[in-house]
Amino acid sequence: MPVAQYTALMETELTKKAIIGGWVLGLGALAFSVNLTSVGAWTVLVGLGVLPPLIMWKMWNPPGPAKSMSESIRDAIK
């Protein structure tokens, strides 16, 4: 893997981690400021805190190397 691609990949991973960390910290601050006490409210908070970052982590793919036409055809056949 060329150095430029590796560097871009690492920046993407760092950006993902920063967004997820901000999301979780923001929801934690919201929970403390609202003073959540019920189990149902904490369940909703955990769902909001975990599901969107997991979806983003799986759906946000880093740019990969360009594929040749034969590689694309081979991947489509599999």
> Quick one: average pLDDT of 64-78?
75
Collapsing DSSP to helix, strand or coil, 50 comes out as helix
> Quick one: average pLDDT of 8-25?
79
Mean pLDDT, the chain, integer? 78
- How far, in Å, CA of 56 to CA of 15, rounded? 11
> Quick one: average pLDDT of 42-51?
85
